[in-house]
Amino acid sequence: MATSSSSQLSKLVKSQYMELPQGEKVQAMYIWIDGTGEGLRCKTRTLDSEPKSIEDLPEWNFDGSSTYQSEGSNSDMYLIPSAMFRDPFRKDPNKLVLCEVLKYNRKPAETNHRVTCQKIMQMVEDQSPWFGMEQEYTILGTDGHPFGWPSNGFPGPQGPYYCGVGADKAYGRDIVEAHYRACLYAGVQICGTNAEVMPAQWEFQVGPCEGIEMGDHLWVARFILHRVCEDFGVVVSFDPKPIPGNWNGAGCHTNFSTKAMREDGGLKYIEESIERLGKRHSYHIRAYDPKGGLDNARRLTGHHETSNIHEFSAGVANRGASIRIPRAVGQEKKGYFEDRRPSANCDPYAVTQALIRTCLLNEEGDEPADY
């Protein structure tokens, strides 16, 4: 099993330094999305006192030419603090700070979908849009081989691994437990976790979150997972089809509801939304992975609990459909629906705003409206 050299360093020695008092000073780790639309970057600065709100955090900058975000001749990019969490690695009073990225001219970077997402969410805040996202991921060694798989060959076929228990079924549970507790400490709205269908594949769920918080909390949960895996010397992959062949891919199923959907008779509003989504399938496919649908094309084949990328479908309790209405929702005639199309490496800001645009703002056509 290939693990990183860094993970071999003595954690006991490190802990001696991490226990040293830090006085009144606070370490704030600024986190941002890079030019790939799926990679995360971070760096740390010292603050003179513990920040109590976003307003207490200064703007910062970085070299965008090294993050696929600008040219070297004009490389300064701005980091705008947008959401703050407790730091589970350095512990209180230190902070994790999720940032938006602005270009030299103070316009949003190409992969900064948070700006438009926030604008869209503010337009519909009276409808209380709730989201819950199910983030699937795969644990890999540093050589790209799935964690715990035989070095030459494959494990037994899928079947015993989903929600499995035992050393021959659950690969890497320590990472899952560490990530879960770190998210709870940080204040991330994590609500569950389980082993997935493919061995070394897991899922965690974040939500319910209202509006812009969905994207904020999922991105920080992903960052924490990257860092936990770094400590264990392994790699987390959000690739939607990490292993070709007869193995499940990885998605980020998105559950959505409004106040009207959650109240008595809400099924009517759910069905109206699904009808609108059916007329705008290609727009959503483009919004649901960072490569405009190319990543998802490897996953959405109509097999392995997915729908076909070229066709829109919906059904009660149907995991082979684009949109699933949970059975309890069909019975109670109110609740939420699940969009099963977003890929594991999707940008939650892009996904959640696409749902709002189509379902609540009644947009049509293949391009998002400009407000």
Q: Three-state SS across the chain? A: CCCCCHHHCCHHHHHHHHCCCCCCCEEEEEEEECCCCCCEEEEEEEECCCCCCHHHCCCEEEEHHHCCCCCHHHCEEEEEEEEEEECCCCCCCCEEEEEEEECCCCCECCCCCHHHHHHHHHHCHHHCCEEEEEEEEEEECCCCCECCCCCCCCCCCCCCCCCCCCCCCCCCHHHHHHHHHHHHHHCCCEEEEEECCCCCEEEEEEEEEECCHHHHHHHHHHHHHHHHHHHHCCEEECCCCCCCCCCCCCEEEEEEECHHHHCCCCHHHHHHHHHHHHCCHHHHHHHCCCCCCHHHHCCCECCCCCCECCCCCEEECCCCCCEEECHHHHHHCCCCEEECCCECCCCHHHHHHHHHHHHCCCCCCCCCCCC
pLDDT for 202 equals 98
Exposed (0-12), middle (13-18) or buried (19+): which is 153, by Cβ within 10 Å?
exposed
**What's 22-35 look like in SS3?**
CCCCEEEEEEEECC
Average pLDDT score, the chain = 97
Determine the Cα–Cα distance for residues 74 and 82; give it in Å rounded to an integer: 24
What's the distance, Cα to Cα, between the start and end of the chain in Å?
51
Q: What CATH number belongs to 121-361? A: 3.30.590.10
- Please, which residues have CB within 8 angstroms of residue 137's CB and are 6 or more apart in sequence? 201, 202, 203, 225, 236, 237, 238, 250, 344
Between CA 278 and CA 287 the distance in angstroms is 15
CATH of region 24-111: 3.10.20.70
| Contact assessment for residue 38 and residue 345, using Cβ atoms and an 8 Å cutoff | yes
CA distance linking residue 61 with residue 72, whole number of Å:
14
Residues of the chain with pLDDT under 70: none
Question: Per the structure block, which two tokens stand in for 59?
Answer: 């703007």
**Looking up tokens 């812009």, which residue turns up?**
212
Q: Where are the domains of the chain?
A: 24-111, 121-361
- Rounded Cα–Cα distance for residues 54 and 347 (Å): 22
Q: How far is CA 341 from CA 52, 253, 254, 279, 334, in A?
A: 38, 7, 8, 15, 22
CB of 359 closer than 8 Å to CB of 304: no
Return the pLDDT at 1.
Answer: 83
Instruction: Take residue 331 and report the two structure tokens written for it.
Output: 């019975």
310 bridge partner residues: none
pLDDT confidence of residue 318: 87
Cβ atoms of 42 and 31 within 8 Å: the answer is yes
- Indicate whether this model's pTM tops 0.95: yes
